[in-house]
Amino acid sequence: MEINWVTFIAQIVNFLILLFLLWRFLYHPILKAMKARENKIASSLDDARQTREKAQKEIEEYTSKKKELDDMREELAARIRQEVEATRRELMKKAREDLEAAHQRWMKSLAEKEKAFLGEVRKKTTRQVYEISRRALQSLADTSLEQSILSMFLRRFQDMPDQKLKPMKDSVSQSDNKIMILSSFEIPEPNRQKILKIISSRISSKARTEFILQPDLICGVKIKSEDREISWSLDAYLETLEQSLGEAFDEELRREHNPEKQTDDKQEENQ
């Protein structure tokens, strides 16, 4: 087979022209478009990377601020709890102090009422004992209760040891020799002279004596200096009665303020 070189060369030239045309009008625009697309994609990826980095940075800043806010909130909550607890303790302390003060005031008022009550009972009981004793002595021995009290007082005063009289002597000498004789009744003159004689012989011969009637002194006689006294009265005999009345008063108060115990006691009595 014989080759037609003119045709062969013409075909080669046509192929080369076709390649040039394809490259010029097809491949080159496609490559250019692909390059532009690639650059656009790279730019978008770069923007996305920057956006992601910015977002990550903002997330980190948000997390840091959130942690800081959480720490501040925790610290503030702890401080508030401490202040609330301190205020609660202060209020509880003040409430306890107010309650204790009210309790003390109530106890003081109660003690004063009890003292006044017992004093009144004591006075009334003493008057009755005094009257009954005086009438009994007058009926049985034909003598007055006052005379018996004076006789007992003079005997005790005369027989008192010097050691017990020494504080009275010292007190009288330090108080310008002033002595008061207090009595719940009028002392007859003969008995006054006996008392003055004993004072002169046993306490001080220079004593300046004054007799004073003191009705609230319970059936007795009292020799008193500035800070010392010698007395005999029915007080000692009434102390047991006063103590019993005080215990009865306390028991009544306990019953009033403890009704459950009062109910139990009644049940025990019924059984």
> DSSP character for 25?
I
Compute the average pLDDT of residues 212-232.
79
- What pLDDT digit, counting tens, does each position of 45-60 carry? 888 888 888 888 888 8
Sheet holding 208-213, edge to edge: 208-213, 178-183, 221-224, 229-232
DSSP letter assigned to residue 159: H
Q: Above 60 in pLDDT, residue 111?
A: yes
Tell me the pLDDT tens digit for each residue of 180-190.
888 878 888 88
Domain extents in the chain: 144-234
Are 201 and 209 within 8 A, CB to CB? Answer: no
Place of tokens 């004689």: 197
The CA-to-CA distance between both ends of the chain, in Å, stands at 153
At residue 259 the predicted structure's pLDDT band, cuts being 50, 70 and 90, is low
Cβ pair 195, 229 in contact under 8 A: no
In 3-state terms the chain splits into helix, strand, coil percentages (rounded to 5) of 80, 5, 15
